[in-house]
Amino acid sequence: MLQENKRIKSAKYVSNFETIFACPICNSSMKVIEFKSLICSNHHTFDFAKQGYMNLTTHSVNTKYDKALFEARRKLIIEGAFYKPLSHAIAKIINEHVVKTKEIISILDAGCGEGSHLTNICDIVRSDFFKDVVGVGIDISKEGIKVASKHYSNKIWAVADLANTSFKNKQFDVILNILSPSNYDEFNRLLKPDGLVIKIVPQSSYLKELREHLFHKPEKQNYSNLETVERFNESFQFVESSRLSYTMNLNKPSLECLVQMTPLTWSTTEEQVTSFFIRIQLKSLLIWIY
């Protein structure tokens, strides 16, 4: 009964914003029917899962990102406050460039994972800047969206393909792209004319201590995202960029969550991981705003 109520509650919330959706199969308009399904005018049907999310993909996708990874990431973000300075920096940028001219702000987190970044940022915008926010999180990983819908209500959570999102043109005031892949053609299609794309790009010192401990080759220890930044700059009109750098000391539980959530450890041995020291330094996390 509790699971059914969660499905219905989510469907009722989504019904308030059903006009933003476009069918991923035929691109027609969609409506929430009987608080059970999102159905387009050509009768393509996408049911709400018992956890409250929707699967809007048209084909199955397998990823290495499992439930344990997303639960570890959520714990590190929420309980460990690992990205707290980043969330506040993003919320401040939204306030400076978007909030002042809007009563209600629509935010899409493209590649939202388990939804903690989006939730934190929406909460800060509401509490610090007193604005209503509609938060929409999409990710190709069903496990990530399951965790998001389990822990965070009053958001729209959907499994979706970043190259074929299920939304109409020009629907979002803000698109977040936090340490995740991008599709700039789709971002341009979805962004309102006065909208803002915020992309978070890690610099070479991001998780430096972890990289240096796990890898011996210089190209693994140090890397450059210059090409990523250049591609991004080609797609959007430049507004502002800023650099955020901070250091955190992690206790053992938080360190275990960090190791579990990062793909950096996928190609390493258990011995390498368990021997890693407890102090992690997070440095030079570059925020690019366009």
Mean pLDDT, the chain, whole residue set: 85
pLDDT class of 205 with cuts at 50, 70, 90: low
| C-alpha atoms less than 13 angstroms from C-alpha of 284 in its C-beta half-sphere | 11
- Which residue type does 110 have? A
Residues 164 and 230 in one domain: yes
Distance, CA of 37 to CA of 53 (rounded, Å) = 11
Residues 134 and 19 in one domain: no
Q: Which pLDDT belongs to residue 150?
A: 95
Residues 195 and 261 in one domain: yes
Distance, CA of 31 to CA of 45 (rounded, Å) = 10
Q: Which pLDDT belongs to residue 105?
A: 95
Distance, CA of 26 to CA of 263 (rounded, Å) = 35
pLDDT class of 259 with cuts at 50, 70, 90: confident
Q: Is the pLDDT higher at 39 or at 239?
A: 39
Q: What is the mean pLDDT of the segment spanning 244-258?
A: 83
Q: What is the mean pLDDT of the segment spanning 4-29?
A: 95
Residues 71 and 122 in one domain: yes
Confidence (pTM): 0.87
Phi/psi class of residue 137: alpha, beta or left (left: φ > 0; alpha: ψ in -120 to 50)?
Answer: beta
Asked if pLDDT for residue 281 goes beyond 70, the answer is no
Task: Give the pairing type, strands 37-40 and 279-280.
Answer: unpaired
Q: Which pLDDT belongs to residue 118?
A: 98
Structural domain harbouring 99: 53-289
**Residues ≥6 apart with Cβ < 8 Å to 247:** 281, 282, 283
Task: Map residue 47 onto helix, strand or coil.
Answer: strand
Q: Is the pLDDT higher at 285 or at 188?
A: 188
Which CATH number do you get for residue 95?
3.40.50.150
List the beta bridge partners of residue 208.
none
Residues 279 and 179 in one domain: yes
Residues 15 and 64 in one domain: no
Residues 124 and 251 in one domain: yes
Residues 40 and 78 in one domain: no
* Residue 57: φ, ψ to 5°: -85, 155
Q: Which pLDDT belongs to residue 224?
A: 65
Asked if pLDDT for residue 107 goes beyond 50, the answer is yes
Asked if pLDDT for residue 217 goes beyond 70, the answer is no
pLDDT class of 223 with cuts at 50, 70, 90: low
Q: Which pLDDT belongs to residue 225?
A: 73
Residues 273 and 159 in one domain: yes
Q: Which pLDDT belongs to residue 250?
A: 77
Residues 3 and 75 in one domain: no
Q: What is the mean pLDDT of the segment spanning 214-232?
A: 67
Domain count for the chain: 2
Residues 171 and 58 in one domain: yes
Residues 62 and 142 in one domain: yes
